[in-house]
Structure formats: structure tokens, C-alpha cells
Amino acid sequence: MRVKASKEAPAKTWRLSCAPPGGDHPEAAGACAALTKVKDPFAPVPKDQMCTKIYGGPEIATVEGTWQGKRIDTTFTRDDGCQLHRWSQIGPVFGNVPKVR
């Protein structure tokens, strides 16, 4: 996974594995616990979903890999209320977001 403070910022990259928690993620156990609490943690926002225009920040995260046998290739942002909720549900996965330079 790659996490950036903004589109232009350098990325911080982690590997995360669960069952058992591992990889080089700084808080692997917490990240795995957050993922198991959400029914479908990598599901996109439905296209017909109405979202508030609450801006949560410029952070962006790209997640690629496999979760419970399913291929994952998705991007998380904090651009509106729906995206912010999606980010917040599994926030520990993204770790400490690098600061904007």
C-alpha cells in the first residue's frame, strides 16, 4: 500500500499481511483488526450514493493485493463525506500519514 499526504507528496509504502499480522506495516496488528471490523473494507462508494461536500484533507492511499482471496486494487481519498467515512472505517491501515512538505 502507498500512502501520501497529497497527490504531489512522496509516498510512504508498507506491506501488510494478516493471519498472522505481519509485513513492515508499523502497526500490523491494529491494521488487521480494523480490517476485520468492516464487512467489505475495500468496497468503493456506490455510484448513486449522495455524499456531503465535507473535505477531509488531501491524503490519498492506494491499496493493492489480496484480501480474503479477492484481488484488491483501490484508492482511498478524503475528498468528500463518503470518501472520508470509507477512509475512517479502516484508518489504522493507513498508519501515520506523512506530512505535507
Q: Within a 10 A sphere around the Cβ of 40, how many other Cβ atoms?
A: 9
Sheet holding 11-13, edge to edge: 11-13, 2-4, 60-67, 70-77
Compute φ and ψ for 91, nearest 5 degrees: -45, -45
- Please state the length of the chain: 101
pTM: 0.88
pLDDT tens, the chain, 101 aa long: 899 988 888 888 999 999 999 999 999 999 999 999 999 999 999 999 999 999 999 999 999 999 999 999 999 999 999 999 999 999 999 987 756 54
